Amino acid sequence: MRKLLPLFGALLCGALGVLAFSPFDFWPLALVSLAGLFAVTHHCSPGPAATRGFAWSLGLYLPGLWWIHNSMTIFGGLPLPVAFVLVALLAAYLSLYTSLALWLAHRFVASPRARLLWVLPVLLIGADWLRGWMLTGFPWLWFGYSQLDGPLAGLAPMFGVQGISWLLLFSAAALWRLGNGLRWRAAAFAVVLWGLGVASQQLQWVSPTETLRVALVQGNIEQSLKWIPGQLEHSLKRYLDLTRPALHADLVIWPESALPASEQQLAPWLEQVDKLMAERNQSLITGLVSRPAAGEVYNAVLGLGNGRYQPGQGNRYYKQQLVPIGEFVPLGDLLRPLAPFFNLPMSSFSRGESGQADIHAAGRDLSVAICYEVAFPGLVRANMKPTTDFLLTVSNDTWFGRSIGPWQHQQIARMRALELGRPMIRATNNGVTLVTDEKGRMSASLPQFEQGVLTAEVTGMTGLTPYARFGNLPLLAVLGLSLLIASRCRQPAGRLMMAERRLFK
């Protein structure tokens, strides 16, 4: 039993980390969770450190991603125990990266101080990056997101969300050392960095341009009803009925796949809507499915309102980052016959090309990310142009019911606004529909699970934040410096103490 206690402690510390994210937003628990990880692994040999790191990560991902089971049980037809096993397997897979980072640090870094303060934070950031890249990537529950409304938010426009994650890791390591009566200099250094993070919130990297009046339509149509025969007319009527009163908006936005039929099927209806919006001197952006050619099916966003719509016209965006299982099924011929879960509606999408143009609507340029794409900071940054006025993401989180998933999703979207210095406009089918300013601060929102229209004025921005301009280069410089300092920790004790005094004095 005594051997199991550290594993239970690691699981508990990982689970505490979930409370640092939305909708709970207890951001100090990010430090508590990470300090717990270092506490249970610091004095271990490589094998036990990797095992406890795996347990900590499992404690984070299993409850933190449990919301995924809604799509499996409610819409995929799987029994709850089977869904639990699948979510647990996903959590275990994601935990392997943390386990590997701890094994490498404990196997190859002899100095405990170098390993804890300078190497492990770098390797754990590397583990996050690998999670966000391997097998198409799953970049979720990065601890930097927990600071969106915390004191370190000002670092995001300079170093991105993972720059904040690194400082949390370093700070947690320094706090653990301080709590064990070890040297205070690293903790003092962390306090200085936090002070800089707080001060950086006052920096203004971008400048305002013109204001846009937007109307975001939240249809709140049940996912179980959306694709059944006879529902199409009901959906079209609901969105038009909600849109008609929004006469004072420059731009009306409908969410991801708002129209449960292909663009080609709806072409005559879309032509009428396009002319209606042109007569009202408004623009409309809507999510829908497009089948431009045989064998091609795209999750698309389309801009209307110039009165000249034709199927296949420009001013559209095709989703690039598809959701595994939900939008494409690896080894589909083998998996689809096994369970309805592998044969969800619209789970055979094609992948859009990179380098697509912004959507132009109401005289403004909007950089688009569809649903899951907004979780990929590199993709959203690559999509944005210097001329982009706003960031736009359309989503349909109906798959995940009354869970914490949509709240984690909106937190991620708001971080993209902060990193890139552009207001974020987020239109969803059933919430969380919102508008932010260029610092990711929510300025207007609609309640979940209600149909309605969110009207707001949003001021566009021009200019580039350091993160928009340089991407991860500033963070890579910090990580490289951290490893350089770690290499100095191999010196004899006397010389090492002198180097530390020079660094932290």
Burial of 498 (0-12, 13-18, 19+ CB in 10 A): exposed
How far is 140 from 347, CA to CA, in rounded Å?
21
Active site residue 256: yes
What letter would DSSP give residue 325?
T
Residue among 13, 256, 419, 438 flagged as catalytic: 256
Q: Which amino acid is at 127?
A: A
Pair 199, 193: CB distance under 8 Å: no
Could you tell me what percentage of the chain is helix, strand and coil, using 3-state DSSP and rounding each to the nearest 5? 50, 15, 35
Q: Is the peptide bond before 23 cis (omega within 30 degrees of 0)?
A: yes
Chain CA centroid to CA 50, Å: 27
How far is 197 from 152, CA to CA, in rounded Å?
5
Pair 222, 431: CB distance under 8 Å: no
Residue among 226, 263, 327, 371 flagged as catalytic: 371
Chain CA centroid to CA 75, Å: 23
Other Cβ atoms within 10 Å of 338 Cβ, number? 9
Residue among 226, 319, 327, 373 flagged as catalytic: 319
Pair 420, 384: CB distance under 8 Å: yes
Strand 424-428's sheet: what is its strand order?
Answer: 359-361, 364-370, 390-395, 424-428, 434-436, 442-445
Active site residue 319: yes
Pairing of strands 364-370, 359-361: antiparallel
Residue 227, CA distances (Å) to 61, 78, 261, 450 in order: 31, 19, 8, 20
How far is 361 from 282, CA to CA, in rounded Å?
9
Catalogue the active-site residues.
Answer: 256, 319, 371
